[in-house]
Amino acid sequence: MLKIDIRRRRILELLARDGSVRVAALSGELGATHATIRNDLSALEAEGRCSRVQGGAMSVAGSPLPGGNTVEKQAIARTVARLIRDGDRLLINSGTTAQAVAGALRGFSELHIVTNALAVAEKLGGAFHVLLLGGELNARDGFTYGEDALMQLSRYQADWAILSVDSISAAEGVTLCHSEETSISREMLRRSVRGIIAADHTKVGRAGFVRVCPAQNPLVLVTDAAADQKAIRALEGNGVEVHIA
């Protein structure tokens, strides 16, 4: 068993990377009992380092988002929120930018949200009507996927699909790094009137692992000012509506 300080430092690293942690996953990774992990999380919460939720904990408001580019992601999230109206129906996938968007949505009074992301559901579940899709669980990255999740998703129709992605380019389209989540994200777009791609500048003009869809009208891209202008012009040439945060 890891020493307390090493174990808790690792928990904080995972919180910084993923935005949330689960007791069961931590127990397996760190070789500690569920009770020990719960004690660790309670101690870290008392220090203001995390916020306890059922079955785990979340990073506190203002904590760095995993993956870097925190300022850009938060600016993107605020710009996405300005496209939304009270009462809208939203489909949201997983990812660090999606978590930032979830935080920016808390100022609304009424939203209806369907998501496959545990962290998004935890952030918004106390404020709005939120449905967390069931199905197979990717515990490491905190999202659900598979046929059961797709079947449940097929029951809903939304105003917007909000996707956190691995990359977007005019030539290669929208891509993700998790192949198992691709079908979920694709179905979210299909079940929505319009789709918002929330992607910081490091993801614009790149080609990723698994293709979700072409980058064309009626997609909306929200990115930051550091995005490559040639890539932006190519996307706009495809009919993508671009907003710079």
pLDDT for 60: 66
Q: What is the pLDDT of residue 177?
A: 84
Look over the chain and give the mean of its residue pLDDT values, rounded to a whole number. 90
Q: Could you say which architecture CATH assigns to the domain 70-244?
A: 3-Layer(aba) Sandwich (3.40)
**Cis peptide leading into 218, omega within 30 of 0?**
yes
State pLDDT tens for residues 105-125: 988 999 999 999 999 998 899
pLDDT at 49: 79
Residue 241 pLDDT class (50, 70, 90 cuts): very high
Pairing of strands 173-176, 143-145: unpaired
What is the Cα–Cα distance from 21 to 15, expressed in whole angstroms?
A: 6
pLDDT class of 130 with cuts at 50, 70, 90: very high
**Domain 4-59 part of CATH 1.10.1060:** no
Element (H or E) spanning 12, and its range?
Answer: helix 4-18
Average pLDDT over residues 191-212: 94
Q: Where are the alpha helices (DSSP H) in 23-178?
A: 23-30, 34-46, 70-83, 96-104, 118-124, 147-153
Q: What is the mean pLDDT of residues 181-197?
A: 97
pLDDT tens track for 39-84: 999 888 877 778 887 788 887 654 545 555 678 898 999 999 999 9
Percent of the chain exceeding pLDDT 70 equals: 95
Question: What pLDDT does 62 receive?
Answer: 46
* More confident: 231 or 46: 231
| pLDDT for res 227 | 96
**pLDDT at res. 212:** 96
Mean pLDDT along residues 226-243? 97
* Range with the poorest average pLDDT among 4-18, 19-33, 74-88: 4-18
Helix axes 4-18, 34-46, angle to 10 degrees: 70
pLDDT for position 91: 98
Could you read off the pLDDT of 135-187 as tens digits, one per residue? 999 887 889 999 999 999 999 999 999 999 999 999 999 999 888 899 999 99
CA distance linking residue 108 with residue 17, whole number of Å: 27
- CA–CA dist 206, 201 (Å, integer): 10
Indicate the range of 5-19, 131-145, 147-161, 231-245 predicted with least confidence. 5-19
Per domain, the residue ranges of the chain are 4-59, 70-244
